[in-house]
Structures are given as structure tokens and as C-alpha cells.
Structure 1
């Protein structure tokens, strides 16, 4: 059995004690130390060499975001963020994901959560998952950090599929590691892309809006959290809100987003399968389906339905860049994928199937 050494970083002595006690109950996990701020954490990492770090964001001396950036630049380690559910907390969590954190857990009731026991099992699960995360891709990727730093990609070096008169839609499913992967892909799509882009990113309610706003500030295309009954337009990416299923229906000459709160599918709401299955019903559209980093197999059943109904090209992220290879691996194993590509080639491959653009 793999032994996971964890460093717990939080400015609250109470929270350090509670998190340590929770994690220590699992036979695979040993808490090797604690730190009270980011500066203390960097010193303890050099001394204790943990497998995984749990990191609070709001701390004195050096906050969690500053510490995370230093960790990923100098000594990359899997980091799980403990986040508050406030608007500022959500925005900081999205930044942390894009700086290289593997995953996050939300504190139920603010920075000092007396009811942290509610997320105990989730915290343990995410620490174990983080210990197996692939940081190779994270170390390779360089991302824009500010508005206006978009760099267009040249599509002339790839073989573009012949353009057809049939309309197109891009559907993307991702989970753990997804915010960073989405930034890599969406920032390299041209503003004039002739397709709407619909996205399921596994994330709790309250965080998807911050993710959409952050991506919108970095991309040439528009990015937003989708709204119920919204008309979907070309050149815009629509992210499912946390806690709701996102489906697409055809209405006359347009596509309409539909949100519902039916039970989770295989533990997920939003579910990639639910989105993909709805897109499979769009007979007048060609579909480009994308499965990126994430735990489990969400998206494979939906991809099967897309393929059965024709006019679908499927792209999966390769193991070399996926933070967690579960979702892409399941789709590839089911023999449903046309292209397996590293993250940095994903936008080019999408454009290959959009056809007739950017060349």
C-alpha cells in the first residue's frame, strides 16, 4: 500500500489540528508536519519532503497563492486547496487551479469551520487522488496570467478537414485538473470559430461562475456560465453551472441551453454524459467531442451515444499531459476516440474538425 506523506498548511491552529486528525485516521496517510503560513510551508517542504500539501489560501506573511506559485516553479508537488465559499474565495480557488493546484475542498462554513467533518471523506479522497496526479504536464505548460495576453495559434501546419455546410458544435467534458486544461485550450481558439462550445467541468455551485469570468478575461472567444433557456451562439463557450445538469436542445434555427436539477448521474451534476447525450440528438449538427483530464469515466457513455448517431469526431487528452488520466483513458479503452493528443495540441485538433478556418 502506498504511503502518502502530507503537510497541512493553515494559519488556524484549530484547523491544522482538525485536518491532521481527519487525515491521520486513514491508514495510507501520514501527516508529517504542519505550517502556519506560506513561508513556513516552503521551509517545511524542503525539510520534510511531503507527497501532498493541503493549503489554505488566506494566510498572513505569505498567502496560499504565493506559496503555490513558488512550489510549482521550484519544487512541483500535488497541492489540494482548502477554500471558502465566498465570491473572493471562489476567485482565489480558480486562480489556484490555474497556478497548478490539483484539486480543492470547500470549507463548509468559512475559514474556521467547526463542521469540517462534513467534508472529511472528500478531503481524504482528494488527498489520495492528488498523490497519484501527473504533474509532468503542469510543469511544461506556461499560461497567460493577465487579460490581453492571448497568443494566436497557427493552424496552417495541420491538415484541416474540408468545411461542410452542416453546422458544428464543440462539447467538452473534464474534471480534476480541468480549469487549467480549459485555459490552455480555450485561450488558443480563434474569436471567429464557427461553433458554440458547451462545457461540463465537475465543480461545486458558486465556483463555475468565477471560472467562466476568469477564462473570459483571457480568451479571444467569449466564455460564460450558461443560463437556462439561453440561445447558444458561435464563438462563445458555455460552462455548466455547478449543481445543475446542462443539456442542449434544437429550437427552430437555434440551439437552446436547458438546465435541470434531476438526480446526479454516477455522482455528478453536472454530468458530461448528460450533456453529450443531449448533443447526440442534434441531427443537423456535426459534433466535435472532447474528453480531458479527470477521475472516473464520465463522458464515455455519452460519447458512445454521440458515435452511434453519427457525425461525431472524438478527441481525448493524452496520458502525458492529463493530470488524472481516468476520463480520457475510459473513452480510449472503449474505442470511441479518433485523436489522442497532448493538451498543447487540443485547440489545433478541434480546429481541424471545425474546418476551413484559421488557414
Structure 2
């Protein structure tokens, strides 16, 4: 049983969230709190497995409360955010501080239509409850060579190297992704001779804030992708929340297209959707990276990449993943060339860039 503390200044919202969560037999609400100060006391008293934490509260807001929680213990926290620009910016900051994930209120601080995110909230609480967080970011681990041999299946497809081909990098991630991207993208040099395409599972209204934050921290340019724009080397394009991103070739240039079609994986944006669009581009060598996240979005896309035109596949290791779902699916299907701690992924990308250019 996963025991949850629900923190929100609105009695209506506390009751709604409690009702939704307790409808699942695997979840029990251990208690509720009206503000951050009360939440900190209840955490000490009740020792919950997961906390749902409203951002906008009197006395002590969600961001300050989260800082205090993270300073004392490794407790999975899910932020409950309003769909405003300021709410999005604070949410991204909270993910950096250590929140495992977030749920967006559909219509403001008191959302009578919260039922729209009921299943999402339940799913994220279940995932958080099964997650063992580390109190501090782990140092980069260097697995022994024989350990790699035990994990990487023998059927792994080796990259096709064309030598003179142009290159591109594509990254897929979900739960824990914003913080993982912060540990990868700032390590890429501004002289990167390839565009980077990123799918981070996130709803509409939040990816622009994520891109702005990452751009501030990085040498490469990071931006939310726009429909019809031409991709440039040294630029990272993040798929907008609620939209699928595809890339096609037009007069020798890579052009981004966005749409809101539903996908088999149910994610929007979808990693599979992006990777499938890149698969036919035989004149480009591809470095595909699958990082932390629940589920298996990206596995079918990686298969398509390798079957159509080859490529190099880097999967994040279990040691650094918040949720070892998406990378595990790629590894178990024998698709990973490299398994790397998140702090080693940027260096691995650059190593393959050098190999391809040599």
C-alpha cells in the first residue's frame, strides 16, 4: 500500500485528490495538510511514501516546502501546478530541486474539472511510490566491462557508419527527464556539428519554460521547436507539450513539423513518433539516446531507426534513472550499444560524434 500525504490550501482540492487516489486499492491517503508548514509537521508524524504538493499556498508555498523536504530526506514528491506561465516556470524549478514529477490543474488553483487528470495523477503516484530516490545526485559510475556484457543483449544491432554522412542526435525521456536533461545538455559544446531533437513527455504549456531554463544553462541553443523551422547544428529542439514532432528532409535541410495526432503509445509528444520520422533519413548518421522514464515509448522507434538506416543507441543506466522503464525496454530488446550513467551521456554522444567524423 502506498501512503500519500495530500497538501493543498483548498479544502475542495484536498477532498478531490483524496477521493481520486483512494479509488485505487493500492493507494491510501495517510493525511492532508493546508500549507507547507503543516505539511512538514505531517511528514514527520505520518511518514508517508509520497507527497502531492500544491505550488501556490499561503504561509509556506510549494517550492519552499519542497526545498525543506529535499534537504532532509529522499521522499518522492509530485507537484500539483496551475496552467499559467508563472506556474510552469516554478514547476520546472521544482523538478530541478528534486520533485519526481508534476500534474497540471486543468483550470486554475481550484479546478472543478480535476477529474480530467484523475488517471494521470493515480499513475504518477503509483510510479512515485515504487521509486527509491537518492538523497543527492549520484556520482558518475563506471561499470566494469563485464557488467556491460551481462546487460547488453547479444542481438544488439551495431551502428552503420557512413563516414561522410551528416549527423543528428535524438533524445527521448519522461519521468525524471527535466533533471536528467539538465545533466546532459549543458555538457554539449556550442561547436556541436549536429542538431539535437528532444522528446520530453510533458503537457502543453510547460515545455517552453523547460527549454528556456535549459537554454540559460547550456552552451548550445535550446528552444521549443516550431512548425516548419529548419534545424541547425548546435541547436536543441524540444517538442512542444501536447504536440508530436517529426523531422523530414526538404532540399537537403532538416525541417521540423508538428501535429496533434494521437499515437499508439498514447504520449503526445511521442518518442516513437519522432524516431520513426528520422528512420528514412539515410543520409544522416543518428545517435539515439533513451533516458529515464516509465513505460517503453522509444523502443519501437529505435527498432525503426536501426532497421532503416542504422545508428548508435545510448541507454541511461539503472543507477541514475529515476524510473528505469524506457531505457530498460531498449536494453532488454538488445538495442543498446552503450549503457551510461546520466553524467556520462554527453561524453558518450561526443565520442560517437568524433568516431563518425574521423
Give me the TM-score of the superposition, normalised by structure 2: 0.90
Question: Using the alignment, how far apart are the partners of 1:292 and 1:234 within structure 2?
Answer: 22
State the match for 1:236 in structure 2: 235
Partner of 1:6: 4
Q: By how many angstroms is 1:245 displaced? A: 1.2
2-structure distance, mates of 1:125, 1:199: 23
Whether 1:299 aligns to 2:319 is no
Q: Secondary structure at the match of 2:167?
A: strand
In structure 1, what is the Cα distance between the partners aligned to 2:92 and 2:208? Answer: 10
User: Structure 1 residue aligned with 2:93, among 92, 95, 116?
Assistant: 95
Stretches of structure 2 that go unaligned for 5 or more consecutive residues are 141-160
Q: Which residue of 1 aligns with 2:320?
A: 321
Contact 2:73 2:135 in 1 (8 A): no
Which shifted more, 67-76 or 198-207?
67-76
Query: Match of 2:184, SS?
Result: helix
Q: Which residue of 2 aligns with 1:166?
A: 165
SS in 1 for 2:60: coil
Could you say which residue in structure 1 is the equivalent of 2:253? 254
User: Contact between 1:76 and 1:139, CA under 8 Å: does it hold in 2?
Assistant: no
Q: Which stretch of structure 1 is more off in the superposition, 304-313 or 200-209? A: 304-313
Residue of structure 1 equivalent to 2:216: 217
Q: Which residue of 2 aligns with 1:152?
A: none
For the 8 Å contact 1:273–1:303, the answer to whether it is kept is yes
Higher mean C-alpha deviation, range 204-213 or range 162-171: 162-171
| Structure 2 counterpart of 1:108, from 100, 106, 109 | 106
C-alpha RMSD of matched pairs (Å):
2.1
Residues 81 and 105 in structure 1, CA contact (< 8 A), matched pair in contact too: yes
Give the match for residue 204 of structure 1.
203
Distance 2:65 2:192 in 1: 37
Q: Secondary structure at the match of 1:136?
A: coil
1:247-272 CA distance string (max 9 Å, x none):
11112232111112222232112111
Unaligned ranges ≥5, structure 1: 143-161
Counterparts of 1:76 and 1:139, CA distance in 2: 11
Q: Secondary structure at the match of 2:198?
A: strand
Deviations 1:140-174 (A, max 9, x none): 379xxxxxxxxxxxxxxxxxxx9943211000001
Give the 3-state SS of the residue equivalent to 1:289 in structure 2.
strand
Moved more, 167-176 or 254-263: 254-263
Deviations 1:94-140 (A, max 9, x none): 11111111111111111011222222222111111111124238643
How far, CA to CA, are the matches of 2:255 and 2:30 in structure 1? 51
Contact 1:273–1:302 (CA under 8 A) maintained in structure 2:
yes
Distance across 1 between alignment mates of 2:16 and 2:268: 29
Q: Residue 177 in 1 paired to residue 176 in 2?
A: yes
SS at match of 1:355: helix
For normalisation by structure 1, the TM-score amounts to 0.90
Q: Does 222-231 or 38-47 show the bigger shift?
A: 38-47
What number of residue pairs does the alignment pair up? 339
Whether contact under 8 Å (1:136, 1:321) holds in the other structure is no
The 3-state SS of whatever aligns with 1:140 is: coil
**TM-superposed deviation, 1:184:** 0.7
Tell whether 2:14 aligns with 1:19: no
- State the partner residue of 1:55: 53
Structure 1 stretches (4+) deviating beyond 4 angstroms? Answer: none
| Secondary structure, aligned partner of 1:31 | strand
Distance 1:211 1:138, change over 3 A: farther
